[in-house]
Copies of this chain bind each other. A is one copy, B any other.
Amino acid sequence: MNNPTVLEVVTPSFSPLYQQIKALILQSLKAGKWKPGEPIPSEMDLAARFRVSQGTVRKAIDELASENLVVRRQGKGTFVATHAEHQVQYRFLKLVPDVGDTDAEGPAQRTIVDCKRQRASADVARALALRTGDSVLKVRRVLAYAGIPTILEDLWLPGTPFKGLTAERLRASRGPMYALFETEFGVHMVRAKEKIRAVLPDALQSKLLDVPAGMPLLSVERVAHTYNDAPMELRRGLYRTDTHHYRNELG
Contact = CB atoms under 8 A, between A and B. Distances in A.
A10 to B, nearest CB: 16
Count this chain's copies in the assembly: 2
B193 A217 contact: no
Contact of A250 (B66, B194, B198, B241): B194
Given A68-B251, A92-B250, A216 B199 contact: yes
Interface in A181-207: 190-200
Question: Binding site of A, secondary structure by majority: helix, strand, loop or mixed?
Answer: strand
A203 B231 CA distance: 42
Given A251-B68, A251-B191, A197 B218 contact: yes
Contacts of A194: 247-250
Interface in A143-175: none
A241 B197 contact: yes
Interface residues of A, number: 33
A176 to B, nearest CB: 14
Interface string A221-251: 0100000000000000001011001111111
Contacts of A196: 196, 218, 241, 245-248
Contacts of A191: 249-251
A195 B245 contact: yes
Nearest to A242: B197
A214 interface: yes
Contacts of A198: 198-199, 216-219, 239, 241
B248 A248 contact: yes
9 contacts: A191-B250, A194-B250, A196-B245, A197-B218, A198-B199, A198-B216, A198-B241, A200-B214, A216-B216
